Amino acid sequence: MAERTRGQYALYAVAVLTLVFLWAPLLVMIFLSFATNSSTVFPFEGFTLSNYAQTLADTGLLTAVFHSVEIATIAAAIATVLGVLGAFGLARIDFRLKEFYRTFGILPMVVPGVVLGMALLIYFRTIIGVTTGFWTVVATHSLYGLPFVLLPVTARLYSFDRSLEEAARDLGSGTLATFAEVTLPIIGPSVAAGFMFAWIRSFEDFIRVYFVKGTFDVLTTAMYSMIKYGSAPEMNAISSLLVFAIAVLLAVAMVGGDVTGYVAGSEDGE
């Protein structure tokens, strides 16, 4: 018994140290975002909000944030429409090459960013000859986001009890009404989760955008330049603001729904 407890303590210790490992650099960065001396902790010269004021006054950066939000929203919307339709096909229709389609549907998230970015750059620029810019990024991210919608919605449709739909039809509900009142509420959360993942993946992507962006900037490419040219005060502040925003959104999502289930791919089927 004593041996077992010691084993348990060791497990707890590793888990706690892992959490420290995950959090330490982020906490240091947040600390530095409020520090007058923003590049390192020593010598400590006091706290300030001027880093944040400077960051929020940087119109170039704010434009880049706006571009990121625009691209993520359009790309995730396209991915959601394509992914939900595809999920119905996978779950409800038997067809040849189904496994082939499923594999290809997962590939956009498997192919490393460097390879996908390079392949699309060569394709856009040299093969079909379009100028890279806003719309090539949207196209790239709508492809990248597809599996993040296709997977959870397909899983949901598989675990969904189709007798519910039949019951609605037997009770006199039409096809559209059945879809709106039975199917949609059941798959709704997985569609929302898929949209959210596709959105986040687009918003945080750097390497794919870096290849196909042409000359304009999104948030990640603007941040990349900041790190490269050493503007720590703004980089710390914008990064910390992102951590705060994500913390709030995640807390809301976790209170409102089963985030763990979707992320770990083990949704409870009803």
Partner 1 sequence: MAPDPQSSSGLAADVRVLLRDTRVRLGLTVGPSVIWLALLLLAPLTFVVTVSFLQVNDAYQVVWQHASLANYQALFAGDGPFWTTSFFRSLVLSYKIAATTTIVCLALAFPMAYLLATHSGRVFKIVIFLVLLPFFTMYLVRAYSWYLMFGPHGVINATLLNLGITDSPLALFGYGQGAVVVGLVHAYFPYMLLSLYASLDGVDFTLVEAARDLGAGKIGALKDVVIPLTLPGIISGALFVFVPSLGAFVTPRFLAQGKIQMIGQLIEERINTLYAIDYGSAASMFIVLTIVVLFLLAFRYVSIEDLGGI
Interface with partner 1 in residues 145-204 (CB under 8 A): 146-147, 150-151, 155, 166, 169-170, 174-175, 200, 203-204
Rounded to the nearest whole angstrom, what is the least distance from the CB of residue 36 to partner 1 in the complex? Answer: 15
| Collapsed DSSP state (helix, strand, coil) of residue 55 | helix
In the bound state with partner 1, the residue whose beta carbon lies nearer, of 10 and 180, is 10
Token duo for residue 153: 């919605």
46 to 85, contacts with partner 1 by CB under 8 A? 81-83, 85
Cα–Cα distance, 136 to 71 (Å, whole number): 10
Q: Are 187 and 105 in contact (CB under 8 A)?
A: no
Cα–Cα distance, 32 to 29 (Å, whole number): 5
Q: Are 235 and 226 in contact (CB under 8 A)?
A: yes
Rounded to the nearest whole angstrom, what is the least distance from the CB of residue 49 to partner 1 in the complex? Answer: 19
Rounded to the nearest whole angstrom, what is the least distance from the CB of residue 150 to partner 1 in the complex? Answer: 7
Place of tokens 């189904």: 98
Q: Are 168 and 181 in contact (CB under 8 A)?
A: yes
In the bound state with partner 1, the residue whose beta carbon lies nearer, of 62 and 200, is 200
113 lies in the site for partner 1, by CB under 8 A: yes
139 lies in the site for partner 1, by CB under 8 A: yes
Cα–Cα distance, 136 to 105 (Å, whole number): 20
In the bound state with partner 1, the residue whose beta carbon lies nearer, of 170 and 270, is 170
Rounded to the nearest whole angstrom, what is the least distance from the CB of residue 102 to partner 1 in the complex? Answer: 6
In the bound state with partner 1, the residue whose beta carbon lies nearer, of 61 and 143, is 143
Rounded to the nearest whole angstrom, what is the least distance from the CB of residue 74 to partner 1 in the complex? Answer: 14
115 lies in the site for partner 1, by CB under 8 A: yes
Q: Are 166 and 208 in contact (CB under 8 A)?
A: no
252 lies in the site for partner 1, by CB under 8 A: no
Beta-bridge partners for 47: 35
Closest by alpha carbon to 192, among 84, 119, 65?
A: 84
243 lies in the site for partner 1, by CB under 8 A: yes
Cα–Cα distance, 101 to 206 (Å, whole number): 27
Token duo for residue 204: 């945080």
Quick one: which H or E segment has residue 114? helix 113-121
In the bound state with partner 1, the residue whose beta carbon lies nearer, of 57 and 251, is 251
Rounded to the nearest whole angstrom, what is the least distance from the CB of residue 53 to partner 1 in the complex? Answer: 20
12 to 51, contacts with partner 1 by CB under 8 A? 12, 14-15, 18-19, 21-26, 28-29, 32, 39-42
Exactly one of 53, 123, 161, 257 binds partner 1 (CB under 8 A); that residue is 123
Size of site (CB under 8 A) for partner 1: 98
251 lies in the site for partner 1, by CB under 8 A: yes
Q: Are 154 and 90 in contact (CB under 8 A)?
A: yes
Rounded to the nearest whole angstrom, what is the least distance from the CB of residue 90 to partner 1 in the complex? Answer: 7
Exactly one of 101, 134, 135, 216 binds partner 1 (CB under 8 A); that residue is 101
**Residue 144 CB coordination number (10 Å):** 23
